[in-house]
Amino acid sequence: MDALCQRKGERMDANLRRRSRVTARLAADFTLPDGRVVPLHTRNISLKGLLADPAPGVETGETGLLRLALTSDAVIQIECLVVRCNATGVALDFQPMDEDSFFHLRNLVRFNAPDADQIDAELKLPAFD
């Protein structure tokens, strides 16, 4: 067992990523099923998920609610699945989200991307087979 995280499920080994990741150092809260709120600090983010610094108390296989407050009016809230949690970081896979959260997420990723048009082009293709 990792000193920072417990493993609850299988780790996703295949790199199936089809969404551009952009560097984004943001503070976020991750609310676990038992009500605990774990602060996260993101490293990068995509339209499909994010990577955060290691966080104690998060387990691979758990689900939770990610909350990223960009401004008081622009808040991203997404149900997530923890797909990896170890000493290198916490990887979250985004589950379906509401329209407002997707709008803010898309704008966040586009703003931080070297080619914003590429982000929109990726939406024309499925994220996975």
User: Which class is domain 6-11+19-119?
Assistant: mainly beta
Would you say the pTM of this structure is higher than 0.85? no
Q: What tens digit of pLDDT does each residue of 68-87 get?
A: 999 999 999 999 999 999 99
By C-alpha distance, which of 39, 43, 68, 66 is closest to 55? 39
| b/e burial code for range 45-70 (CB count within 10 A of at least 16 → b) | bbbbbbbbebbeebebebebebbbee
Q: What tens digit of pLDDT does each residue of 33-43 get?
A: 999 999 999 99
Task: Considering only the C-alpha atoms of the chain, give the largest distance between any 2 of them, rounded to a whole number of Å.
Answer: 42
Any idea where the domains of the chain sit in the sequence?
6-11+19-119
What pLDDT sits at residue 6? Answer: 42
Question: Does residue 102 carry a pLDDT above 70?
Answer: yes
Average pLDDT over residues 34-53: 96
